[in-house]
Amino acid sequence: MQVQSENQPYDDINVTPMLDLAYVLLVIFIIMTTASVQGIKVNLPKASSAPSLAKPSTKAITIREDGQIFLDAYPVTVQELESRLRAMKAANPSFPVVVKGDTTVQYGKVMEVLELLGRVDITQLGLVTQKLVK
């Protein structure tokens, strides 16, 4: 073992604190990136706890409080929604769809979307709600 004299400079740099900082910044970046990808914010109605229908290939139709319709996170009209769903149905006949309607949205708007899903013959359908807090 070699002893360092007081007048001699150090040969090596301790990189452990720098690596600790890099790992912390990486974890913060990953958390912030995944937290910001959530889609359109709506106020969901409450329901009992039941298994979720959401799967990776599930398409989400969101109806905001002002009646605007979104397919996944992209705004669409009713006609565009129908044509896109027909194209998806042709590619994959059994893909699931979930409908997220704001609690204040008009019931007729949700029914319009549900009737459209019936015309397109979507058989795997779910309505998204919040868990009921007791």
Q: How confident is the prediction for the chain on average, in pLDDT?
A: 81
Q: What is the DSSP letter of 11?
A: S
Domain extents for the chain? 46-131
Residue-wise pLDDT tens digits, 5-23? 667 776 777 888 889 999 9
pTM exceeds 0.95 for this model: no
pLDDT in tens, 19-71: 999 999 999 888 877 765 556 677 777 776 666 554 457 888 999 988 899 99
- Decide: helix, strand or coil at residue 103: coil
Task: Let me know: does 99 contact 61? Beta carbons within 8 Å.
Answer: yes
Return the amino acid letter for 13.
I
pLDDT at 23: 93
The CATH class for the domain spanning 46-131 reads alpha beta
> What is the spatial distance between Cα 45 and Cα 79, in angstroms, rounded to a whole number?
26
Q: What gap in Å lies between CA 16 and CA 108, rounded to an integer?
A: 61
